[in-house]
């Protein structure tokens, strides 16, 4: 498996373009009780809190960006074709993605890691919940980084691509959360080898 690098700051944000595309399509969640969806509840609360922060702290660039991303995530849940997340890997490397645990799993975590091969997409009836990013050792250019899990909301269609200039992996949508080890009961291995030692299987792929 090839290792990969990612610069979180350079995650591609194309919210306005995607919002325009979504607005053209007829919402298929109409009549569905998406308001009871855990992701929807969490995003709505976060948006309300951030809007309150804007009233007290002013319209800082950071708060404006956070509001934009939260509104985008809320819109995804309200207007997506279904309640599943889909992850597509358009890089030349294997990614590790999160999904539901098998019924026979003895894991105490809320989800499980799966392999997503290069140029593959998870099945639209299999819920992709996010992406695992292993930590990196310190180099002359930058310090060491900790492993993280990037969470996406239900209904997100995430696409991972490689920046041809620096080889770093970029994503087409912002994440709803960036989790550190020990947060939200997600399995976030210390490093890539520890993840592979967990005998990860391949995610359900769209044919």
Which residues, listed in sequence order, are joined to residue 95 by a DSSP beta bridge?
Answer: 116
pLDDT grade, residue 194 (50/70/90)? confident
Separation of alpha carbons 155 and 48, rounded Å: 21
Residue 183: pLDDT band with limits 50, 70, 90: confident
User: Torsions phi, psi of 17, nearest 5?
Assistant: -65, -45
| The pLDDT of residue 95 | 94
Q: Residue 74 in contact with residue 43, Cβ under 8 Å?
A: yes
Q: pLDDT by residue (tens digit) across 70-89? A: 888 888 888 877 778 999 99
What is the average pLDDT across 98-103? 91
3-state SS record for 11-61:
CCCCHHHHHHHHHHCCCCCCCCCHHHCHHHHHHHHHHHHHHHHHHHHCCCH
């Amino acid at each position: 498996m090839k290792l990969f690098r990612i610069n979180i700051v350079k995650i591609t944000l194309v919210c306005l373009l995607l919002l325009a595309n979504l607005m053209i399509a007829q919402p298929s969640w109409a009549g569905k009780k998406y308001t009871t969806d855990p992701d929807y509840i969490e995003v709505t609360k976060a948006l309300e809190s951030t809007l309150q922060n804007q009233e007290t702290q002013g319209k800082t660039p950071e708060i404006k960006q956070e509001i934009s991303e939260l509104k985008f995530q809320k819109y995804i849940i309200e207007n997506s074709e279904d309640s599943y997340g889909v992850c597509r890997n358009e890089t030349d490397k294997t990614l590790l993605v999160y999904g539901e645990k098998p019924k026979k799993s003895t894991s105490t975590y809320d989800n499980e890691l799966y392999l997503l091969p290069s140029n593959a997409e998870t099945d639209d009836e299999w819920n992709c919940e996010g992406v695992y990013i292993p930590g990196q050792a310190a180099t002359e250019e930058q310090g060491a980084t900790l492993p993280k899990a990037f969470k996406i909301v239900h209904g997100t269609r995430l696409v991972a691509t490689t920046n041809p200039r620096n080889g770093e992996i970029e994503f087409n949508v912002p994440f709803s959360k960036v989790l550190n080890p020990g947060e939200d009961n997600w399995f976030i291995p210390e490093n890539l080898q520890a993840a592979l030692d967990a005998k990860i299987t391949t995610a359900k792929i769209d044919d």
